[in-house]
């Protein structure tokens, strides 16, 4: 039981740490991009949505790679582009800033 619990606890802890770091860097990036009215609530909401989108895209990439290994590289590249684009779109939507400012953040 310990051999299952310990690695799972480490993985969940690292996932939580990455989400906290992403939110912190987003907050600092919005401050640097001079976005008006930066609130912790909006930063956390944006982080939650971006994490969900990234998780769904990762799952789709893994499914595509499992059933069609020849598409693995293309699916990975597409996942990176879509994750980056949707992250900027979600940041610009939740914080009511332009796409250019979201790109800077």
**Which CA distances in Å does 25 have to 20, 32, 37, 60, 72?**
9, 10, 16, 26, 30
Report pLDDT for 80: 80
Report pLDDT for 17: 92
Report pLDDT for 72: 73
Report pLDDT for 102: 81
Residues of the chain with pLDDT under 50: none
| Helical segments of 1-105, H only | 2-32, 40-67, 72-94, 99-104
Distance CA 74, CA 32 (A): 33
């Amino acid at each position: 039981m310990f051999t299952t619990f310990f690695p799972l606890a480490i993985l969940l802890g690292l996932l939580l740490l990455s989400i906290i770091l992403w939110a912190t860097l987003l907050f600092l990036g919005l401050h640097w991009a001079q976005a008006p009215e930066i609130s912790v609530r909006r930063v956390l909401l944006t982080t939650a949505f971006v994490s969900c989108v990234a998780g769904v895209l990762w799952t789709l990439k893994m499914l595509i790679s499992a059933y069609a290994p020849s598409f693995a590289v293309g699916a990975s590249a597409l996942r990176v582009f879509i994750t980056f684009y949707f992250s900027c779109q979600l940041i610009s939507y939740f914080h009511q800033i332009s796409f250019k400012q979201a790109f800077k953040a």
